[in-house]
Amino acid sequence: MLPVIETFYSLQGEGYFAGSAAFFIRLAGCPVQCDFCDEQNSWSIDEDSKVDVEDIVGEVVESGAKCVVVTGGEPIIHRLQLLTNLLRSYGIRTHLETSGYGGTLTGTWDWITFSPKKIFKPSPEFYQKANELKIVIEDTNDFDFAEYHHSLSVPDTKFYLQPEWSNRDEIIPMIIEYIKLHPQWRLSLQIHKYLDIS
């Protein structure tokens, strides 16, 4: 069983797969609890929210989705091998969104989005296994933070800078100028928020 906050079929709003269809499974529990988190309801685990993995996968299959994004909270605090095994048995792609902190990688993944957070040191394995590195930019100090994590990543990783939503009007022009000088980075926008969809 896994503690599920919500499930929904929508569009991926961020990063490399932005704009593509995806079924989201948001799991409860997060040791990071960022001050800019827009999913604070996912921080704690309510025993009543636990759902059988088979039922979760059944909902995905019924939706017709071909890709699942497991997010949180912080999903790596849970054992996810059974979930990914069942999803993949139906030919469904498995994507993970993680800060890399609070647990170890379980499950078999087609794509891993790694978004480390300040103060909390991620597990080193994610620098090797992540397909994309996404850094949220709140202010100019975060560019040094981004470059530090870039320096630890493997070269074929996709690198994204994403403005913190509440400061986006101020931050986006700074990110654009930074990317022009550091073209190894790309801009990630939370298009689901612009579109006002889940």
From CA 15, how far away is CA 111, in angstroms rounded? 11
From CA 100, how far away is CA 14, in angstroms rounded? 18
From CA 53, how far away is CA 82, in angstroms rounded? 7
From CA 59, how far away is CA 100, in angstroms rounded? 27
167-197 pLDDT, tens digit each: 999 999 999 999 999 999 999 999 999 999 9
Predicted structure pTM score: 0.93
> Which class would CATH give 2-195?
alpha beta
13 or 118: which leads in pLDDT: 13
Tokens of 189: 């926008």
Report the helix count and the strand count for the chain, using DSSP H and E.
Answer: 6, 9
pLDDT grade for 156, boundaries at 50, 70 and 90: very high
pLDDT grade for 20, boundaries at 50, 70 and 90: very high
Residues 185, 161 contacting (CB under 8 angstroms): yes
**Residue 54: how many other CB atoms lie within 10 Å:** 11
Q: Mean pLDDT lowest for which of 43-47, 143-147, 173-177, 187-191? A: 43-47
Q: What is the model's pLDDT at position 49?
A: 81
From CA 50, how far away is CA 36, in angstroms rounded? 26
Tokens of 57: 């996968």
Residues 7, 25 contacting (CB under 8 angstroms): yes
Burial of 62 (0-12, 13-18, 19+ CB in 10 A): exposed
What letter represents residue 177's amino acid?
Answer: E
Q: What is the model's pLDDT at position 118?
A: 87
Tokens of 60: 């995905």
DSSP bridge partners of 11 = 21
Residues across the chain: 198
Tell me what percent of the residues of the chain surpass a pLDDT of 70: 93
From CA 185, how far away is CA 189, in angstroms rounded? 13
